Amino acid sequence: MTTAFPHSSTPLIRPDKDRFLAEENPFEAMMSRFDHAAQRLSLDQGLYKVLRSPEKQIIVSVPFLRDSGEVEVYTGYRVLYNTSRGPAKGGIRFDLNVTLDEVKALAAWMTWKCAVVNIPFGGSKGGVVCDPANLSNAELERITRRYTAAIIETLGPDSDVPAPDVNTNEGVMAWIMDTYSMHKRHTVTAVVTGKPVAMGGSLGRREATGRGCMLVTREALKRLKLPVQGARVAVQGFGNVGSIAAELMEAQGMRVVAVSDKSGGVYHEKGLDVQALIQHVRQRKFLAEYAEAQHLTNEELLTVDCDVLVPAALENVITSKNAAKVKARIICEGANGPTTANADRILEENGVFVIPDILANAGGVTVSYFEWVQDRGGFFWDEDTVNQRLERIMVQSFDEVAGMAARHAINLRIGAYMLAIDRVAAVHRMRGMYA
Ligand code: NAD
């Protein structure tokens, strides 16, 4: 007689692997790096299973009234990946491409990111499947408030703290804070970060992610004994992260030779005028309409001749198809998940020094942490204090990741995952298992 489930001494790992075979599935991108780092750490099977599973996945329907009076229903997600080190922390994204797998991957990345910079948060992420470009401000407000109400049990300064992400901004955070506060019957500023400064936001938060990118790029150039002055930089994405990274890198003496947005990019061998580009974009114009430079496509930007490439737009832009053509010596991942695992292997063979997303763009969550601390303390810091404390954390985290990578003769990405997983696993061991 045969049994349906014969005994096997082989541990059952990743039973759902078949669902994640696609190179561009972000959860697969996260998991393949996690697996590599977990193996290097000889993570025990029990913790391996715990850390590869999101703690909580919430799917909600978000009904709302269109301005026309019609009822529409969108889908919203919130995933809390791991809260062993502290409250969950993670942005909210409004985009047509939002999927549960993407939100899970982003929530996991937040967990590892907070551990890399050693701030006392776990990781979460949320999103609503919608196209903000085709919604009025009033419709966006109704969606935001209804989504907030739908996930309100998970939210709170001690449990889950959202922040802005793609297509959400400080105005959206103000609506979330207000909705939450109305339910609680008192004002709770620390329930979100990335708020307007006038209502409990932190000075320096808007610039923090781009500033962090600049700081780790400067450290990488120093480590590789390459000059900071005149280093040629190409930036994909000219929104919050990309434009500020470009501005601050230029201020350090680097030469920004190419930038792009979703309309395409501009290039100038001798260096672009970043301030003029920022003014251009502030007038709600696309870079494709900028006249003072040569034009190039987003695909061309990624393989342009430069020293530093900063992908600061989307996931999966550097893949097995174009990685071999990348000419940059350093990639600073401003975006979350811009490089696939297959591309990692090619970049490593070609000696490209990749500063991984969970380190490179951690400046944002670091100053979000400062904002949460300031809100809870009711005492606000000046911008220099914020920037100095951010610099200390980013430089120290870069050194710790680079040290881990050097000790294990691995790349910085796996070094960063090892550092993060080790920190999260240590807390799980100390806390033990609630049963
Ligand atoms: P944003 O909306 O301010 O800017 C996005 C930019 O990318 C815009 O210039 C847009 O035109 C461009 N873009 C969109 N589609 C593109 C395409 N197909 N090709 C090229 N460019 C395209 O967003 P942001 O806040 O700057 O976030 C960018 C990335 O950084 C995201 O991956 C986000 O998750 C990540 N990130 C942001 C923060 C933060 O504090 N804002 C923190 C950590 C990570």
pLDDT digits (tens, 9 = 90+) for 404-432: 999 999 999 999 999 999 999 999 999 99
233 CB within 6 A, ligand 1: no
Nearest CA to ligand 1 atom 33: 335
Partnered with residue 309 across adjacent β-strands are 234, 331
Please state the pTM of the whole predicted model: 0.93
Buried b / exposed e over 94-112, threshold 16 CB at 10 Å, is bbeebbbbbbbbbbbbbbb
Mean pLDDT across 41-64: 96
Give me ligand 1 centre to Cα 159, in Å.
Answer: 26
Neighbours of 318 (CB within 10 A): 26
* pLDDT (tens digit per residue) in 318-350: 999 999 999 999 999 999 999 999 999 999 999
**Any idea how long the chain is?**
435
Indicate the burial class of 261 (C-beta count within 10 angstroms; 0-12, 13-18, 19 or more). buried
Terminal Cα distance for the chain, rounded = 36
Nearest CA to ligand 1 atom 25: 240
CA distance 107 to 123: 5
Give me ligand 1 centre to Cα 311, in Å.
Answer: 9
Three-state SS at 181: helix
* pLDDT (tens digit per residue) in 379-397: 999 999 999 999 999 999 9
DSSP E strands in 324-396: the ranges are 330-332, 353-355
In the annotation, is 104 catalytic?
A: no
* pLDDT exceeds cutoff 50 at 4: no
Give me ligand 1 centre to Cα 243, in Å.
Answer: 10
CA distance 86 to 115: 10
CA distance 197 to 206: 10
> Which residue in 104, 125, 184, 321 is the catalytic one?
125
Give me ligand 1 centre to Cα 357, in Å.
Answer: 13
**Ligand 1 atom with minimal separation from the 208 CA:** 40
364 CB within 6 A, ligand 1: yes
- Integer-rounded Cα Rg, in Å, for the chain is 21
What residues contact 229, with CB distance under 8 A and at least 6 apart? 253, 254
